[in-house]
Amino acid sequence: MIYGWTGSNLEIDLSTGNIEKEEADTKLNEAYIGGRGVGTKILWDRVPPEVNPFSPDNLLIFVAGVLNGTIAPGANRTGLITRSPQTNLLTYSNMGGFWAPELKHAGYDNLIISGKSQGPVYIWINNDKVEIRDACHIWGKDTAETRSIIREELKNNKIQILCIGQAGENKVCSASIEHGAGASLSRAGVGALMGDKNVKAIAVYGTKDVNIAQPLEFYELCQKLNKKAERLREFVDNWSYERDGLLGKAVYGNLNEFRPMENIGGWHDAFLRDYRRRQISCSNCSLRCKHTIRTPDDEYSFIKCVSWYCFIACCKIQDLSFAIKCYTLCEKYGFDTLSCAHLIAFAIDLYEKGILTKKDTEGIHLEYGNADLALLLIEKIAKREGIGEILADGVYEAARKIGKGAEAYAYHVKKLEIPIYPLHHPYMNLTQSTSDRVDMLKSISAIPQHYVQKSEEIKKEYIESEYWPYPEEFKEYIWDNFDPTGADYDRITKMVSFDVDSNALSDLTGVCIFWTGFWPFNPYLIADHVRLISYATGMSLDEEEGMKIAKKASILVRAYNVILGIRKKDDAPPERFFQEPSTPPLFPAVDRKIFNKTIDAYYKLRGYEKNGIPTKKALDELDLGYVKEALVQRGILGNEKDKKNRD
C-alpha cells in the first residue's frame, strides 16, 4: 500500500488523444517529496530548454503536494509547472482552493498535459474515467459561466474546476487559470498556454482514499497545529493595512510616484462594512483569509490580498467600488490582476509622454483617473483588440514593439510586471530581484519586515514563543530595524535564503505559506512540517534533509533558467529604483554598490558563482549531479569564457 502519495500520475496527450494512468516513480517521490519538486524534475527531464513555450512539446504539469487530500491544516495548494510564454523561463504558479486535493482523491498525484488539441476541449477526470470532451459551446464564455455550464453538464456540483476565460483563449500573456472563490494560477501567462493547447477547462472529481502511514501521530500533530492557529486567526482578523504600515506603501500609476496609499485604513473599514459578506477558506483551512463580496452590480465575487488595491494605485482612482469592478472583470476574463493593472498604467504613462498617440489607440484618449477607460482597456487587452493587441504580451514585449524609448518605462523583473510595491525595502528588493517569477507573496515572509518595527517587549515575547520559526542564530537579527540603505545585508541575505527554502518546502507539501512562513505566528515550524511528511508517507526525514530537498527544488529551477540565459544582470529591480527614493523618503534610492554586495552575499549562501550560476560543489551537495553534467555539457560550467566573466 502506498501512503501520502496516490502513486499514480495522469498523462494526457492532446495531439493524439491518448490518456494514460501511470505508476509514479517512487524514487522520484522520495528524492523530491512531491509538488513543485517532482513537477520540476519531470519538466527538466522532458522539456529541453530549446522548446518554445507555445510548442506542443511544452508540458503543463499540475501537481498536488504530498500532504494534499489529508487532514494537514492548510494543505490545499495546486501547483503548476511549465514554461512561461511571457518570460520564456521555467515558471511556477500555485493557488489555494480544492482542486489538487480532489485530484488526489481521484487517484493522481500529478497531471501532465502535452500536445495540442485541434479544437476546443475540456478534460473531465472522474476517478479512472478520463475524457477529453468537446468545448466548442463554452469557448468564448467567461470563467464563472464556464464553471456553471460544466457543473450542470456533468450533473455534479462537487467537481472542482480549473478554467480559462477569454484572455487565456486569446493567448494574452497575463492570462490566468481560474478556479473560483478567489483562487487562480496566475502570473507569467500560464492561462495563455491552456488557450494555446485549446483546453478550456479541467474538471476533476474523486472518491478514493488518501492513506496515512502513521495515523495517530499524524492526527495529533494536525490537532496541535490547529490549536496553535488560534493566535494567527486572531492576528489575521485584526490585521489592517494601516496598522501594518508596510503594505500601505504603494506605487502610483506606472511607478510615477512612490507614496503611501491615501486613507488605506478607511478603505479597509469601508470594505469590511459595505462589501464583505463572508470570510471563506480553502480546503481544510481555518484561517479564512478570503472574502466573499457583493459587487456594485449586486453579484457575488471573491477577493483576496493586494488584488483589491492594485487598480486603485495603478489607475489613480481612489474608489473601492471601481477596484472591485476591475477585479471581478479580471476574474471573469481570467486575467492576472497585477499585470493587468500595470499594463493599463504603462499605456497611460506612454500616452502622456507622447510615445503612444491616438493613432495607436484608435482615437481613445488615455488618462489616469478615468474608470470607464480602465474597464475598457481590460476588455481590449483580454480580447487583443486595438491597443490591447500591443499590450497583450506584457510591458517588456509591448515596449519592444512600440520603440521610441518606451523600454525605459517598462518596469519588470525578468520580463514580468512587478508588484505595485516599492522595491526599496532591502528584504523585498532581494526576494523580488532574485525570484524566478517576481510576485508579492509566494517567496517572502512578512516576519522580518513586521517584527523589526515592534517594541522590545513584543520582540522578546515573539522570539521566546513557540512560534519563532527561524534558526536560533537569527534571534539577534530582529532587535534593530533594518538599515534602509540595506547596508546590513548580512542578516537580510540569511533570512531571505531561509525563507526561500522554507516556502519551497511548502511547495512540496502543498501547504499554504500562510501556515508555514508568511505571517508572524505561523503554526507550522520546519520540524512539524517534515514530521507531517514522515507520518503521512512513512519515509524517514529530518529537518535538515527536508530543507535540503526544498533547496534542491529551488536550485533545480535556477539551473534550468540559467540554461535559458538568466545571470546576475537579470537579478535586479527596474533601473528606476536605483534612481528614485520612496516618498516620503522612507527609503533612499537603492545604492548600487550595496545592492551588488547583497547579491554577492546571497549567491554565496545559495551556492552560486558570482555570475549567478550554481557551482559544481553546490550541485553535488544537493545530489544534482545530472544538473552539473548538463551545465558542463552546455559549456555553462567549467567553461573558459564564463570563467573570464566571473573574474
Partner 1 sequence: MKKIKKIEIDTSKCTGCRTCELVCSAFHYEPKYSLVNPTRSRIRVFFDEENDLYVPVIAGPYVEAECDGRKAYTIKGEKYDECCFCPVSCPSRDLFKEPDSGLPLKCDMCGEPPPPEGPLCVAWCLDDALTYVEREEEEEEEEEEKADEKESAIEYLIKKYGLEEIRDILDRKSKL
Taking CB under 6 A as the rule, does residue 287 contact ligand SF4?
A: yes
Cβ atoms of residues 362 and 299 within 8 Å = no
219 is in the binding site of which of partner 1, ligand SF4, none (Cβ under 5 to 8 A by kind)? partner 1
Q: Are strands 110-114 and 60-64 parallel, antiparallel or unpaired?
A: antiparallel
- Could you say which residues in the range 208-237 bind partner 1, by CB under 8 A? 208-212, 215-216, 218-219, 223, 226, 229-230, 233
Site string for partner 1, 234-273 (x = CB under 8 A): ----------------------------------------
Q: Which residues contact 28 (CB under 8 A, 6 or more apart)?
A: 38, 41, 42
- Min dist CB 521 to partner 1, Å, is 15
* Number of residues written out for the chain: 647
* Strands (DSSP E) found in 14-96: 18-23, 60-64, 78-83, 90-95
Residue 235 CB, shortest distance to ligand SF4, in Å, is: 12
Whether 64 and 110 have beta carbons less than 8 Å apart is answered as yes
290 binds ligand SF4 (CB under 6 A): yes
Which partner in ligand SF4, partner 1, none is near 70 (CB below 5 to 8 A by kind)?
Answer: partner 1
Whichever of 311 and 514 has its CB closer to ligand SF4, that residue is 514
Return the residue of 214, 226, 281, 292 that touches ligand SF4, per CB under 6 A. Answer: 281
With cell 527554502, the residue in question is 501
CB of 1 to partner 1, least distance (A): 10
Told to check if 118 binds partner 1 by CB under 8 A, we report: no
**CB burial string 253-286: b at 16+ within 10 A, e below:** bbbbebbbbeebeebbeebeeebeeeeebbbbbe
Question: Is residue 90 involved in binding partner 1 (CB under 8 A)?
Answer: no
Query: Residue 6 contacts by C-beta under 8 Å, 6 or more apart in sequence?
Result: 24, 104, 107, 108, 109, 208, 210
Near partner 1 by CB under 8 A: residue from 9, 114, 166, 284 = 284
Per CB under 6 A, contacts with ligand SF4 among 36-75 are: 74
> Judged by CB under 8 A, how many residues of this single chain contact partner 1?
43
Interface with partner 1 (CB under 8 A), residue from 15, 26, 48, 300: 300
288 lies in the binding site for ligand SF4 (CB under 6 A)? yes
* Residue 306 contact, options ligand SF4, partner 1, none, Cβ 5-8 Å cut-off depending on partner type: none
Helix axis angle, 337-352 relative to 371-382, nearest 10°? 110
Q: Which residues pair with 270 in a beta bridge?
A: none
3-state secondary structure of 16: coil
Q: Does 164 bind ligand SF4 (CB under 6 A)?
A: no
Contact partner, 514, from partner 1, ligand SF4, none, Cβ < 5-8 Å per class:
ligand SF4
Q: Does 291 bind ligand SF4 (CB under 6 A)?
A: no
Give residues with Cβ within 8 angstroms of 129, minimum separation 6: none
Q: Which residue number, 282 or 374, has a Cβ lying nearer to partner 1?
A: 282
645: three-class secondary structure by DSSP = helix
Q: Is 512 in the site for ligand SF4 (CB under 6 A)?
A: yes
In whole angstroms, give the CA distance from residue 110 to residue 64: 6
Q: Which does 96 bind (CB under 5 to 8 A by kind): ligand SF4, partner 1, none?
A: ligand SF4
Site string for partner 1, 175-194 (x = CB under 8 A): -----xx-------------
The reply on whether position 279 binds partner 1 by CB under 8 A is yes
Which among 98, 144, 158, 141 has a CA at the least distance from the CA of 299?
A: 144
- Closest by alpha carbon to 323, among 275, 385, 365, 260? 275
Query: Distances in Å between the alpha carbon of 236 and those of 184, 240, 479?
Result: 21, 8, 24
d(CA 389, CA 459): 51
Q: Which chain residues interact with partner 1 by CB under 8 A?
A: 69-71, 73, 98, 105, 144, 147-148, 157-158, 180-181, 206-212, 215-216, 218-219, 223, 226, 229-230, 233, 277-286, 288, 292, 300, 302
